[in-house]
A and B are shown apart, each in its own frame.
Chain A
Amino acid sequence: MGVMKRLTGVLQAKANKVMDRVEDPRETLDLSYEKQLEQLQQVRRGVADVATARKRIELQAQGLQQNAGKLQDQARQALAQNREDLAREALSRRAALSTQLEQLRVQHEQLVQQEQRLVTTTQQLQSRVEAFRTQKETLKASYTAAQAQTRIGEAVSGISESMTDTGMAMQRAQDKIAQMQARAGAVDELLASGTLTDLTGSSDPLQAELDKTSQTSQIELELAQMKGELAPPAPAPAEALAPGSAASLPDGAEADAEPADGETVEEAPPASQTAAGGSPDGAAGSDLFSLGSEGGNS
């Protein structure tokens, strides 16, 4: 037997299990309708659950983004205070955040699609329940005719099938949400604690190492770029090396001129020059890395 035929059997068997068959077809119609209304309500609640899960992910992404902005500010502050180690730590945490954000983005996309499908099927189901309601009175009125009995059976099977289909779709959505929930709880914890180091999420050690390496070089780039933005903390020995414009650098040094503090500073890619060139405000070193959840940043 083909797959399509077998699937129909599965669907109808599930549908029949839900339906209470009774002797009098008129009662079958009424019972079926009651059940449909119940299920329709369940389905609506299910759609609302999916929407809630989606909104939660949106809020988490927002929180992660705020933290990322904050970590970048902190890295800048740390550099201003000549604490490159702290700046490096802040940027690594920020890199872990972006991995996390990417995972959230994928989950979000899946949920949005699922939600859209469920909304559509719920609307269709509602139309069918409405059609059933109007047809059942006609069918009841003529139920003695053999033909009407057949039609009652068909109408009930047909709509039960739709109910079951929607119910299974809802179940899949709920399974997905349950899977996401464990992960979402972990993100919440991270958002609260600010410790994000173990979350590269890769189970393949080689890939993890590769990811780490690429993150590391990105961090080097960002450090170099930030150094370029900052005023040299000590009299710069590089003036002689800079070809040309070395004479009149403003002490803010926020221009995109050559980095002024070393011979072999890597060039930052031009695309990443968009970072806000805020002046470091010398915040107290003690609370630089108390990553509380207050998000006072850009």
Chain B
Amino acid sequence: MKTKGEVLLALSKVSKSFGGLRAVDSFDLDVALGNITSLIGPNGAGKTTVFNLITGIYRPDAGSIRFEGRELIGRQPHQVAKAGIARTFQTLRLFENLTCFENVLSGQHCRTSSGTMSSILRTPAQKREEAEVRHEAERCMKLVGMWDFRDELARNLPYGYRRRLEIARALATDPRLLILDEPAGGLNEKETGDLMELIIGIRDSGITVFLIEHDMQVVMGISDWVSVMDNGRKISEGTPCDVQRDPCVIEAYLGIDNDDDFCFEASQEPEGTEIS
């Protein structure tokens, strides 16, 4: 039974500069357990950088990132994944020359331990592990509806399925937090609808979801909580409705010229938000 309001991932005053450019500026965010949290903002706001900071590709200059209470900073990407955070990539990084099944199998690598000798000798433990791994991969593929493509090479997949494969692969790592970087990018209306259903299904199965997205239909449709970034800083956060109406957000996206400064630091705790 998940506890609403418990914080799974906490970013606190996280900053990152590249040369003279402040990509992320004292960023705070709490991702609540069991929620779908979205991070939105104009292009170049620093959203993917936040993802890369969480997953260990970059190291923050300041601040802390705590996952399930433990500090993530300093961990390498594969350690972050092993700790329970899985991700997809904005530009899609599939293992192109391997089959879909092999792609999804990769997720199980960090959950298994057969070594060189046991693999050569095919010990009973190794055989058991192989069966479990294949079973799990099959489950993940069926969850996203890709089981029929299992023997197809990833490079031959049509675009809409490529995204789904990446999600299946991420799910195969048995994560507690799934980070999706613009999962709806390039999808048509129907595919977007299917994706929304899929993400909600993932959330309902107990995995917390954190996503970057530009498609407002997706963000408003499935998010429990939305955080808005611009120029590396958080400029607003709240439920989808709150954020939609926030003048700061409108200004950031549409650039309305306004002398009055409406913006203030939005730093509420996401307590007991309604799950629609």
A binds B: no
Q: A interface vs B, CB < 8 Å?
A: none
- State the B residues within 8 Å of A (CB): none
